[in-house]
Amino acid sequence: MGFIMKGAPYGSQDTPIYSVDMEDGVLGKANNNGTIVINSKLKDPKQIQEVIDHETEHIIQMRDGRLDYDKENVYWEGKTIPRSSIEEGAKDLPWEKEVYNKTKK
């Protein structure tokens, strides 16, 4: 039987984060395989952390079963939304609105 130690002297991050070349205007992406990618052109540590915080919230939405996607659709809280009908990353999308409200960015 395992146990959890309290007060570990280090942080815990179970979401792999990769810095990759991304198209202009895209800062980061939460993948439904549990990873986060951030744009390798980002250099400001504060901005990088803001992107990681934002994308981590999407990872939580996916882990909770509320958000998913494939090449054609986004699935949000049981609804199927064709990707062709939305602007990816738009702040008024319900999953984005929720994250922006939580992160205030």
pTM score of the predicted model: 0.83
- Beta carbons of 27 and 38 less than 8 angstroms apart: yes
Residue 1 lies in a domain: no
Residue 3 lies in a domain: no
Q: Is the pLDDT of residue 93 over 50?
A: yes
Domain count, the chain: 1
Residue 5 lies in a domain: no
Say which residue, 28 or 5, is predicted with more confidence: 28
Q: Is the pLDDT of residue 10 over 90?
A: no
Cβ neighbours of residue 2 under 8 Å, at least 6 residues apart? Answer: none
- What is the domain range of residue 31? 17-103
Residue 72 lies in a domain: yes
